[in-house]
Amino acid sequence: MVFGRQPAFWIGLIVSAVLAVLSVFVEGGVINQALADQITEGTNATAQVVGILAPLVTGLLIRTQVTPVKEPTLPAGTEVKVEGTDTVTTV
């Protein structure tokens, strides 16, 4: 997840924004319909490729957050009790 959202959410948000701006430009006469169609096809193709790669990138980002850098240690003198037994060990 990126900023608390799934990658598909961000991809959809970006594609929607591009297509909304594109439609405003077409209606305003800034670009013609043929160019708008090409941009739309390119945007959709890019979104599909990013959608395929998103799980890989997300997995790499998550792995760096959950993989411990070093082994966790307890402070000296901590008593550890194993559940289900009466054994207490001082570390």
Q: What is the pLDDT of residues 10-62, one digit of tens each?
A: 888 889 999 999 999 888 889 999 999 999 999 999 989 988 888 888 787 77
- Amino acid found at 16: S
Q: What is the pLDDT of residue 1?
A: 57
- In this structure, are residues 43 and 15 in contact, taking their beta carbons and an 8 Å threshold? yes
- Stretch 58-79: mean pLDDT, rounded? 76
- In this structure, are residues 90 and 81 in contact, taking their beta carbons and an 8 Å threshold? no
59 or 69: which leads in pLDDT: 59
Q: What is the pLDDT of residue 2?
A: 58
**pTM exceeds cut of 0.75:** no
Rounded to whole angstroms, the Cα distance separating 29 from 45 reads: 25
